[in-house]
Amino acid sequence: MLDLISPHAILPNLKASNKKQALQEMARKASELTGQHERAIFDVLLERERLGTTGVGHGIAIPHGKLSSLDRVHGVFARLERPIDFDAIDEQPVDLIFLLLAPEQAGADHLKALARVSRLLRDQSMCEKLRGAQSGDAMYALLTQHEPSPSN
């Protein structure tokens, strides 16, 4: 996860009353991190949601999209202050969202990143720890703890 997310990419107490607002706030954060236009990010995410919800169940959503001007895969993680309806496949409200943005040409890398995030968030004890974490730094530590650090 170290290659996907940075300590600045964590929103520990995101206030959002619905799916659209949550995606807007996350697009704003992703825009700060990537230098991409917030509107372009938001539009890509909405387009993907129209194909089918990214609410994967158990309070988790993994919205994602591709932008031609990105140089690598970027992630943004948010824990919502209050769970919201995300049209999840199990119809449960969502409170943990991991947003992924990939370059247009990143076929396999995009899928690998999605699989890694999905595997991580399928771990119930990991999700409980993320829900109980006191700060963004604690969440970042949890999200990146299972991977070897990149060699310098």
Task: Tell me, yes or no, if 64 is annotated catalytic.
Answer: yes
What distances in angstroms separate CA 144 from CA 22, 57, 72, one per listed residue? 23, 22, 18
Options 64, 74, 110, 146, the catalytic residue? 64
Q: Is 10 helix (H, G, I), strand (E, B) or coil?
A: strand
Whether the CB-CB separation of 83 and 95 falls below 8 Å is answered with: yes
- For the CA atoms of the chain, what is the radius of gyration? 14
CA 98 to chain centre: 2
- Residues serving a catalytic function are 64
